[in-house]
Amino acid sequence: MKMIKLGKTGKDISKMGLGTWSIGGGSAWGGDHDLQTVVDTICEAPKVGINLIDTAPGYNFGNSEKIVGMALKKMKREDVTIITKCGVTWDQEMKGSLFNVVNGIQLYKNLNSESIRREIDASLERLGTDYVDVYMTHWQSVDDEYYVPIEKTMEVLNDLKAQGKIRAIGAANVDIHHIEEYLKWGDLDIVQAKYSVLDRAIEEDIIPCCKENGITLQAYSPLEMGLLSGTMPRDYKPVGAQIPKKWFQPENMQKAMDMMDAWKPLTEKYDCTIANLALAWILGQGDFITLLSGSTTVDQIRENAQSAQLELEPEDVAMMRDMAEALDK
């Protein structure tokens, strides 16, 4: 597994990380999984060279963190880099701005300083550790009524860093102006953003900014919620969070499947799967980029880890981009 540096920390992280959005279970997160199977999947990560594990309290109301914590008990803490997040709450008196309603429970966006301090302690307890390697703001507080300046958010994050509860600071779901503001008030080592061969919006400004400022870019949903796995049948019916997404609309989904059919000669050339190609394409976009693989079984994480070993030839990377760009025309 190829390693890169985490921002300016000097810490080595794997080019591929394990995302536990689905591992937490729950109907909004792809359904429940066998507990032993997902714990085994997390424990398998370091064995296949993946030392980066991403979670969040908002993944099934803390359940993802609890499961990661179960796996950590079976691992050496220093062997893994744990990312968790703050800013999405459901259980505090101080609410914040409305976010999503999941299973009848209202989620709020809340980056108030007091809320962040409560969140980190709850996360550490669920994870069963006394520090997290990266603490990331999950969503930005931008609504007028509950607006929290990034300066204030960084103030509390820098304090948690000084206390040793967190080792590095990250931000997810940000725009270029958010990133520029974070950089005014301290070190920002990693930015998490949606990125796939089908969704390349961050290439306009966020990727250049990260590259210029020594920030690691972490791509999530590189397989577009499983669509780019190449395993869905033509008559697949979207479920849960897939339903409103652009590429799960019937016409778009068929176009994407046509594109993947055209990739089949590449699977033979590189002796790999469609999913391997989609992940390798992301990894080939820069040495400051890592991605999250949402594996939920040992076999899946082993297969996805193989993507990091693929080195696509430049003309194949360009061809895949051309095919994807043609779908938007």
Q: How far apart are CA 283 and CA 195, in angstroms?
A: 11
Q: How far apart are CA 176 and CA 258, in angstroms?
A: 33
Tokens representing 42 are 């997390």
Question: Cα 117 to chain center, whole Å?
Answer: 23
Helix (H) or strand (E) holding 81: strand 81-86
271 contacts 237 by C-beta, under 8 angstroms: no
The one-letter amino acid code at 324 reads A
Helix (H) or strand (E) holding 294: none
Tokens representing 242 are 């897939």
Give which of 24, 141, 30, 15 is closest to 84, Cα–Cα.
24
- Which residue among 59, 135, 182, 270 is the active-site one? 59
- CB neighbours of residue 10 within 10 Å: 7
Q: Is 135 a catalytic residue?
A: no
Residue 141 CB partners (closer than 8 Å, separation 6+): 87, 96, 97, 109, 110, 111, 112, 147, 148, 153
- CB neighbours of residue 117 within 10 Å: 15
Tokens representing 145 are 């009524």
Residue 212 CB partners (closer than 8 Å, separation 6+): none
Tokens representing 205 are 């400004």
| DSSP code, position 59 | T
Residue 203 CB partners (closer than 8 Å, separation 6+): none
Q: How far apart are CA 96 and CA 109, in angstroms?
A: 5
260 contacts 203 by C-beta, under 8 angstroms: no
Which residues are marked as active site?
59
